[in-house]
Structure 1
Amino acid sequence: MGEYMSRSLISCGAVKCVIILFTAIGIVLFATESSWCDLDTLWTKCYGPNVSASASSVLQTGDSGYIMVGSTYFGGDNSDLYVVRSDANGDSLWTRTYGYSAFEGAQSISPTLDGKYIIVGNTYDTQGAGNNMWLVKMDVWGDTLWAKGYGSESAEYAFDGQQTLDGGFIMGGITSKPNDGYDWMLVKTDPNGNTTANWTYGGSGNDYLQSIDNASDGGYILAGNGWATLVKVDSIGAVIWSVDLSPNSVELYSVQQTSDGGYIAVGSKSLPGYRIKCYMLKTDSTGTIQWSRAYGPGAQYDWSIAYSVQQTTDGGFIFAGFSGGAYDVDSVYIVKTDNAGVEEWSGIYGRPYLDAVAKCVRQTTDGGYIVAGYVDGDAWLLKFGVSCCDVNMTPDTYPINIFPGGLFGLTGFIANPTPDPMITDVWVGVDYLNVFYQLYQFNNLGLNPSQFLSAHIVQHVPNYAPLGTYKYVAYCGDYQSNKCDSAFFNFTVVGGRIEGGYDAWTLEGGFDAGNTPNEYAVGSFPNPFNASTTITYALPTAGNVNLEVYNLAGQKVATLVNEYNEAGQHNVTWDAANYSSGIYFCKLSAGEKVFTERMTLLK
C-alpha cells in the first residue's frame, strides 16, 4: 500500500429485497458509460414492516452489530420513529417504533457517555403547536428512558444533534419566522433533556441548519445554507466566525471536526445548465478554506448531493449521498478521498429503475464502511469492506522538477492481496488544479492470490504543459465500473521549454497483461450472486481442462469447460437463471490437479 492509498470492496448479499449493485464512474473529461459490475461480497439488507420506511443514521455497536434509526410510514403521511438493531451481518435482532398519532421520525442517533443512545428527531403536536424538535433517550435494548419535545407556536424541525462535552445535549435545525421562511435554531439541554438555552441565526430569506458537531474547545461547528454556510459558535452560542458560500451556489449537509482541529463539510454545488455536483471543503480551525472540490460520477448524471461525511482512520475522508439523472432514478453515490480531497475510489450503487439514497456513512472497526439510507420504500443498510487490488508507485528520483518537454521515470506495482485470483485494470493520469486528465490504461491484468507485478514506466511531459505542481495518479479496479485503490506522487513543471522536447503526454513501458500465472487457482465473482457469476481460473501450464458445477447433494448440474486451454488467465460465465437458490461447488480439473470453489446462488 502506498502512502495515499485505500481499497474498497462492495457487494450484494441475502436481503429481503435482493439488490443488484451497479456502478458508473466518470472522471472529469473522461466520463465512462455506466455498466453492471461484479463486486466481491459483503451484504446489504432492507428493513421495514408492511409499510414504507427510511433510514437516516446508523452506528456500529460494541458487539460489531449496528443500530439504525429513521422513520416508518403508515396511513398516508403519518409516520413513527423507527429503530432497528442488527447483528454484524445485518440480521435484525429487534425493532422499535415510537410515536403518537401524527408525524414522528428520527434524524440522527449517537452514543451517550453512560452507554445509552440519544436520538434526535421530530414530533408533531396534535394540540395545535405544530412540529417540534424531539429528543429520545434510549437504552441498549430500545426501551425509552425519556422523550421530550421542544418548540413553540412556531414550527421547529431538528436535523442533527448529539451529546455535548458537559453531558447535556445539543440539537440543530430550523424555526419558522413570523411571516415566512425559516431561521437556524440551536437548542441546548441538560443531561435530563431540560432546556438550558436556545439560539437563532438568520437573514431575510430561508435559512436551513443541516448539521452540527462538537468542537474541541466546547463550542460547536454548524453547516447549512442561507445566511451562512459554515459557522463556528462558542459554548453559549455566540458566533466566532462564519463562511458564506451561497454566492457560489453551495449548500452544506454534513460537517465534522477533523483530527487537526479543522473542519470537513460536504453538500452540493450548483453549476450552469441545471447541473449539481457533490461538494467537499476543508477548513482550518479559524474557518480559512484550505481546499474545496466538486465530485460527480459522470456526464449521464445531472445532479449529485452528499449528505454525510466522515474522516477515516488513514486521515482521508469518505462521503455518501446520491446521484440522479441516469435511468431517471436516484442512485447511492459514495466517494473515498485522501486527506487533500483527491478521489481514491468511488461508486454508484442501487437498484435498476428504483430510487436509492444514502443518508449516513460511517467507518467500521474492521476498516470497512456501513451506509444507511433508503431504497424503493425500504430502510436499508449497505456493508462494504476494503479488500481488492493494491497499486503503488515509486519515482526514480524525488522530488521531481522537470522542464516542459522533459520526462521522468517510475516503477509501478500492482498486487492481489486477496485469497482469490482476480482480473484488474490500471489507469494513470495527472491531477492539475483539481482536474484529473487520464493518460493511459492497462486492461485485464490477471493476478493470482498474493501475486504482484512491477513495471518501469517513463512518462513524457509535453512542451505545452503549464508550469506548476501536478499529482501523478494511478488507479486500479474495473475501469468501466469502480475505482478500488489509488496512489500518487507530486511533480513540478518548472522553467522554459526544452527545444525538440516531447509534444504529448506519451508513456513508455507498462504492465504486461499476458503474464503467465505461477500456480493454479479458481474463483468466482460475484459470490454470492443472483442469476449469473463469472468463474475465473488460472493455469500455469497448458493442458486439458474440465470445469463443472455440482449442487450440495453432489449432483453435477453443468459442464462449463471441457477442452484444451493455453496457460494463462481464463474466464467463463455460469448462467444460473434456471437453477434454484442454494450452495453450489465449481470443480476445476487440470491434469492431476483438482480445485473447488463454493458459490452461493440467491434469488
Structure 2
Amino acid sequence: MKIILFNVVMLFFIDCYAQIPEIVRQQCYPDPLVNSNYQTIAQTENGYILGVGINNGNNASNYHGSADIWIIVTDSSFNTIWERCYGGSDTDNPNEIVKITESEYYIFGSTSSTDGDVQSGNNGFNDIWVVKINIQGDIIWENTYGCPGYDEIRDFILTPDGGFVMIDRIGSAGGDVSQYYGNGDVWMCKCDSLGNIEWEKTLGNQGVDNCVSMIVNVAGNIMMIGTVQQHGGMVDCYPHPGGGDVWIVELDLEGNIVSQYCYGGSHYEFGYSIIEIENGYIFMGETYSNDGDVSGLHGSPGEGSDIWVVRLNEQFGIIWQKCIGG
C-alpha cells in the first residue's frame, strides 16, 4: 500500500554555509491514490492543515468520486484530528490552503463538478473553486469562478478586508469573464470575504498572454508577473519582436493599472516570480535570448534557456541582470 509522507524540515545555517537539512519529524498517512501534482500545507494554531488531490476514496472520508480534495488537520506532532474530502462526482483538485484567521481557511482549487459540495454551479469545462472552511472542516461558503473555456488558477493574495484577489489564465469570455482578447488571456478577480466578485479585469491582447504569480508591494498595489507576446489590447509596453517578454503589471486594489513593463530579447522570456526589496525589485524568469535586455546567455539563443535574474530600481529600470545556467 502506498503512503503519503510529509516531512517537516528545519534548515540551520551557520554564516553563509548551508548544512544538510535536518529532518525534525515525519509522518506517514495511508494513501488513497494521491495525485502528486496537487499538494499543499498550511499551519494552524496548534498544528497543520494538509491538502492533496486524490483519485479514490480508500482511507478518506466523504469521497465523492473521480478526483477529490482531501483535507487532513493534525496536531503539532502530525497526529490526525480530522480528515474529509471536498468536491463532487467529477474532478476536483486543490491548489493552495490559505490561513485567514486561526479558525478560518480558504481552499483555492479547481473543479469540474456540479454536485456534492459544489453547489455554486459551473461556468463550463473547469472552473476555479474557492471554499471557505472553519477549523472543524465545516463549509462556510463555496463559489466557482471562471469562463466557459479553460480556467487555470495561478496565484492569489489576501486583502485587508478579508477577501482576496486571484489571477487565472482563461480561454474564453462568458461566465464571470466580461472580456477576452484571444489566444489565452490573464483574468484578475477581486472578491470580498463572502466570495462575491467586486471587480474583474482581463489583461492581455490577441497574442499569447500568461501569468504566474503576484505580490502586494509596500504601496499597497498588486504586482503581477508573467509573459506577453505583443503590444496592443491593454498592453502598452512593447515586447521585443520574435518571442515573448517578461511582463510586469502594477494595479491598485480597485483594479486600475498603475504601470506595466516588458523585459527581454528577440527570443522567448518567461516571468515567474518577483519580490520587493529596498529601493526596487528583483524578478526571476527564464530566457532564450542574448540581446535586448539580456546578456550572458549560456548556449545558443533560441535553442537553450537560462534562469534570468534581474534587479530593478524603484522606477522599474534595470540595474543589473544575470543569466544563470550552463
Q: Does the TM-score normalized on the shorter chain lie above 0.5?
A: yes
Answer 1 or 2: higher relative contact order, Cα 8 Å, separation at least 6.
1
Any conservation in 2 of the 1:188–1:196 contact (CA below 8 Å)? yes
**Correspondence for 1:53:** 35
1:191 matched to which residue of 2?
193
Query: Which whole-Å CA distance do the structure 2 matches of 1:291 and 1:46 have between them?
Result: 45
User: Residue in 2 aligned with 1:218?
Assistant: 220
**1:382 matched residue in structure 2:** none
Bigger radius of gyration among the two: 1
- Say if 1:100 and 1:3 are closer, same or farther in 2 by CA, change over 3 A: closer
Cα distance, 1:198 vs structure 2? 0.4
Shift of the alpha carbon at 1:159? 1.7
Which of these residues, 85, 88, 91, is aligned with residue 97 of structure 1? 85
Over 3 Å counting, the alpha-carbon distance change for 1:295 and 1:237 in structure 2 is same
Structure 1 SS opposite 2:207: coil
Please name the residue that 1:404 is paired with. Answer: none
Amino acid at match of 1:7: A
Partner of 2:253: 235
Cα deviation for residue 289 of structure 1 reads 3.7
Q: Show CA shifts across 1:127-155 (max 9, x none).
A: 67222122111222333211100123333
Show the counterpart of 2:72: 84
Of 149, 154, 161, 2:144 maps to 149
> C-alpha offsets along residues 7-46 of structure 1, whole Å, 9 cap, x if unaligned?
3432xxxxxxxxxxxxxxxxxxxxxxxxxxxxx5435556
SS at match of 1:213: strand
What code does the residue aligned with 1:68 have? L
Q: How far apart in 1 are the matches of 2:323 and 2:184?
A: 28
CA gap of 1:214–1:268, structure 2 versus 1, over 3 A, is: same
Unmatched 5+ stretches in structure 2: 1-11, 58-64, 115-121, 174-180, 230-245, 289-296
Contact 1:110–1:162 (8 Å) recurs in 2:
no
How far apart are the structure 1 equivalents of 2:28 and 2:323? 31
- Conservation of the 8 A alpha-carbon contact between 2:149 and 2:172: yes
Q: Residue 250 of structure 1 aligns with which residue?
A: 269
Hey, what's the Cα distance between the residues in 2 that align with 1:261 and 1:291? Answer: 14
Q: How does 1:476-495 map to 2 (within 5 A)?
A: none
For 1:120, the aligned partner's letter is F
1:281-325 CA-partner distances (Å, limit 9, x unpaired):
4434443344444445xx6xxxxxxxxxxxxxxxxxxxxxxxxxx
Residue type of the alignment partner of 2:135: V
Residues 201 and 96 (structure 1), Cα distance of their counterparts in 2 relative to 1, 3 Å cut: same
Taking the TM superposition and a 5 Å limit, the aligned residue runs for 1:233-382 are 233-245=251-263, 247=265, 249-258=268-277, 260=278, 262-270=280-288, 272=299, 274-295=303-324
1:522-548 per-residue CA deviation (whole Å, 9 max, x = no partner) reads xxxxxxxxxxxxxxxxxxxxxxxxxxx
Rounded to whole Å, the distance in 2 between the matches of 1:191 and 1:261 is: 33
Unpaired segments ≥5 residues, structure 1 = 11-39, 300-603
Residue number in structure 2 paired with 1:348: none
- How many angstroms apart in 1 are the aligned matches of 2:131 and 2:75? 23
Q: How many angstroms does 1:88 deviate by?
A: 4.2
Cross-structure match for 2:60: none
> 1:9 matched to which residue of 2?
20
Q: Offset at 1:177? A: 3.6
For 1:192 and 1:143, locate their aligned partners in 2 and report how far apart those are by CA, in whole Å: 15
Q: CA deviation at 1:175?
A: 1.4
Deviations 1:266-295 (A, max 9, x none): 343346465444444443444334444444
- Partner amino acid, structure 1, of 2:34: S
Q: CA deviation at 1:164?
A: 0.7
- How big is the alpha-carbon RMSD for the aligned residues of Structure 1 and Structure 2? 3.4
Match of 1:122 in 2: 110
Mapped partners of 1:68, 1:269: distance in 2:
35
Distance 1:294 1:94 in 2: 47
Q: CA deviation at 1:158?
A: 1.4
- For the 8 Å contact 1:66–1:90, the answer to whether it is kept is yes
User: Which residue of the other structure, out of 63, 68, 71, is the alignment partner of 2:50?
Assistant: 68
Number of residue equivalences: 265
Question: Which residue identity is paired with 1:133?
Answer: I
CA distance in 2, matches of 1:234, 1:161: 15
Shift of residue 48, structure 1, vs aligned partner: 6.2
Q: Report the equivalent of 1:138.
A: 133
Q: Is the 8 A contact 2:123 2:145 kept in 1?
A: no
Q: Which digits, 9 at most, give the CA deviation of each residue in 1:357-412, with x for residues without a partner?
A: xxxxxxxxxxxxxxxxxxxxxxxxxxxxxxxxxxxxxxxxxxxxxxxxxxxxxxxx
Identical residues among aligned pairs (%)? 24
Q: Is the 8 A contact 1:167 1:191 kept in 2?
A: yes
Question: Is residue 170–residue 187 contact of structure 1 (8 Å, CA) maintained in 2?
Answer: yes
Residue 178 of structure 2 is matched in structure 1 by none
Q: 1:117 to 1:162 in 2, by over 3 A?
A: farther
Alignment map for 1:493-508 (pairs within 5 Å): none
Listed one character per residue, the Cα deviations across residues 310-367 of structure 1 (whole Å, up to 9, x for unaligned) are: xxxxxxxxxxxxxxxxxxxxxxxxxxxxxxxxxxxxxxxxxxxxxxxxxxxxxxxxxx
Indicate if the aligned counterparts of 1:107 and 1:121 stay in contact, CA closer than 8 A.
yes
Q: TM-score, structure 2 length as denominator?
A: 0.67
Match runs of 1:102-113 below 5 Å: 102-113=90-101
Task: Give the letter aligned to residue 216 of structure 2.
Answer: N
Q: Are 1:268 and 1:279, in contact at CA under 8 Å, matched by a contact in 2? A: yes
| Mapped partners of 1:46, 1:96: distance in 2 | 17
Change over 3 Å in CA distance of 1:2–1:137 after alignment to 2: closer
Conservation of the 8 A alpha-carbon contact between 1:175 and 1:183: yes
- 1:51 is displaced (CA, Å) by 0.8
Aligned partners of 1:186 and 1:200 also within 8 Å: yes
Alignment correspondent of 1:201: 203
Q: How far apart, CA to CA, are the structure 1 residues paired with 2:250 and 2:287? A: 21
The 3 A distance-change label for structure 1 pair 80 and 249 is same
